[in-house]
Amino acid sequence: MGAGTVVLPGVFNAATGMLAERAGFEAVYISGAGIANGVAGLPDIGLLTMDEVVRQAGYIADAVQIPCLCDADTGFGEPLNVYRTVQAFERAGVAGIHIEDQVAPKRCGHLSGKMLVSAQHMAEKVSAAVEARVDRDLLIVARTDARAVGGFDEAVSRAQVYLRAGADVIFPEALLSKQEFEEFAKQVSAPLLANMTEFGKSPFLSAAELAD
């Protein structure tokens, strides 16, 4: 994939991944909520195990020829568990994962009532993820849910901590306006991931708007 804004449609099984590839997308996003809801019939509140998500991610990665970025929730445990999580996802063939700074069991990023681990603890998870990967091109994306818990400035502060820990990309979940996305991009000098969903707290912005 080249530089610039890349649209990754959310998929949850091999069939939806293949449809996205056939439609011409450059990469796909393996949605944790999609797997929980669409495969297991469960709410997105951290009920699936690492093995269940890795297995589904592997099926999708095997079925397509484009990169797959996978939601790995909180990394399925503490820093040592995150190390093993990265190893498992890398063996499954994905191109990257994201982990988030919520307390386990996590909640869907657009639900209320989220709680966060400390920024330092999340940084230790990010460092473990970076250390665990064999392929240096495996993307480690650090998601922060701080906007809904501690406010915009807390989200920016945590993003900077996670970058220093080695994250390749920052995923600020549930920013509340186009202006917040613009300001976040000004303050956080790194590639960013934006989650656009019809039911979310963030405005539904186009790829062109996000690129601006």
Q: Which residues are catalytic?
A: 29, 44, 71, 73, 98, 100, 108, 143, 173, 195
Check if the beta carbon of residue 147 is closer than 8 Å to that of residue 181: no
Residue by residue, DSSP assigns 74-101 as: T-SSSHHHHHHHHHHHHHHT-SEEEEE-
Alpha-carbon gap, residue 19 to 148, rounded angstroms: 34
Q: Taking CA 55 as the corner, what is the angle to CA 130 and CA 167, rounded to the nearest 5 degrees?
A: 15
DSSP assigned state of 28:
E
Helix segments in 113-177, DSSP class H: 119-132, 146-149, 152-164
Q: Which residue has the tokens 């063996």?
A: 91
Sheet holding 28-30, edge to edge: 10-11, 28-30, 68-71, 96-100, 139-144, 169-172
Alpha-carbon gap, residue 36 to 186, rounded angstroms: 34
Q: Is the bond preceding residue 191 a cis peptide, omega within 30 degrees?
A: no
